[in-house]
Amino acid sequence: MRYFLWLMGFFAVYCGFLYNDFMSLPLYLWKSCYQKENGMMKDPDCVYPFGIDPTWYGAAKEINFINSLKMKVSVILGVSHMLLGQMNKGLNALYFGNRLDFVHEFIP
């Protein structure tokens, strides 16, 4: 039980950081991988644990880029959430022996 609560707390903090980065005021936790002067990459192996490059904040096309990113992320999360629900429905129908639910609700 303690492990589950610790895991829930970790993911709550992680989702809070993601929400803050995408929907609110961004945090500058990591340095940018790009040079502001010419837009070239400093290090080709640079990776962020989450979030986007801080160079985008204040850029001329910031609104277009971030709104496009938000839309793509919301579609991916929505589709994965629906697939998870469908898989749970199918597994529950198999577990409880409801062939009618499995054939007429899960398969279509």
Return per-residue pLDDT of the chain as tens, 108 residues: 788 888 899 988 887 877 777 666 677 778 888 887 787 888 888 888 777 887 787 788 888 988 888 889 889 989 999 999 999 999 999 999 999 999 999 898
Q: What integer pLDDT is reported at residue 23 of this predicted model?
A: 67
Report pLDDT for 22: 66
Specify the DSSP element, H or E, that contains 41: none
Q: How far apart are the first and last CA of the chain?
A: 37
Where do we find the tokens 């490059």? 53
Task: Read off the pTM.
Answer: 0.64
Note the pLDDT of residue 1: 73
How far is 81 from 59, CA to CA, in rounded Å?
33
Q: How far apart are CA 104 and CA 108, in angstroms?
A: 7
The pLDDT, as a whole number, for residue 19 is 73
- The answer to whether 93 and 101 have CB atoms below 8 angstroms apart is yes
Run of H or E residues at 35: none
